[in-house]
Amino acid sequence: MGVEVHDPRWLAAVPGAELVVGLGDVGECAAAGHRVTVLIDLVPDTVARVRDLAAAAVGEGARKVRVRPHGVDRVDLVYVAVELNRVAEDDAVEVQFDVTSAALLRADPAAFVRVDPLVVKADGTVVPICAGLERYALGTLGSLDELTRDWDPEPVRDLCRIALGRALADTGPLVSWYEHLTRTAADLRVGC
């Protein structure tokens, strides 16, 4: 099971985890010798600048660029996918765009009913899949083995099934899966 941490202090507690930081922390973390993934939140205001933001992060030492959309329309998702492909080619860097194709959702829905990766937030809270699913938190990091041993992942799989149904109703070519998950989790919380 993959694990990402959002603060370098948790790397010792979770060997082999991926360090994911915001743009402002890339240089410091890279200078400390960490392999850094930069997380860029893609919102309508950053669509036109995503290529420049990614290039700046690579210049600061990021070895991977990850872009997570929030509230971006379908046309902008396609535009950003093209731009990120250019970043990968121009900067020879790994790029992860947190979208999936609607066709893949339809072809292999079981692949989206899962509970990984685990995410260790900066405060040590461990949540499944992505930030925004705090309702499904395993707890606070002390021992990851203890947290996963006592955790029931079935409510997360249920959330994934509900979000999948909603995402399949989305008619665009690209789907922001994590955004569907967090929005569905928020809707379920309100409905309780």
37 and 80 share one domain = yes
Range of the domain at 117: 99-192
- Of 43, 67, 98, which marks where a domain is finished? 98
Phi/psi of residue 101, nearest 5 degrees: -85, 145
pLDDT tens, position by position, 87-126: 999 989 999 999 998 899 999 999 999 999 999 999 999 9
179 contacts 72 by C-beta, under 8 angstroms: no
pLDDT tens, position by position, 40-94: 999 999 999 999 999 999 999 999 999 999 999 999 999 999 999 999 999 899 9
Provide the 3-class DSSP secondary structure of residue 139.
strand
Based on the structure, what is the number of domains in the chain?
Answer: 2
Q: Provide, rounded to the nearest whole percent, the portion of the chain with pLDDT above 70.
A: 98
pLDDT tens, position by position, 144-162: 788 888 899 999 999 999 9
21 and 108 share one domain = no
- pLDDT number for residue 48: 96
121 and 143 share one domain = yes
DSSP designation for 15: T
- pLDDT number for residue 149: 86
Which residues 6+ apart lie within 8 Å of 14 measured at CB?
A: 3, 5, 120, 141, 144
17 and 33 share one domain = yes
55 and 104 share one domain = no
pTM of the predicted model as reported, rounded to 2 decimal places: 0.83
- pLDDT number for residue 192: 42
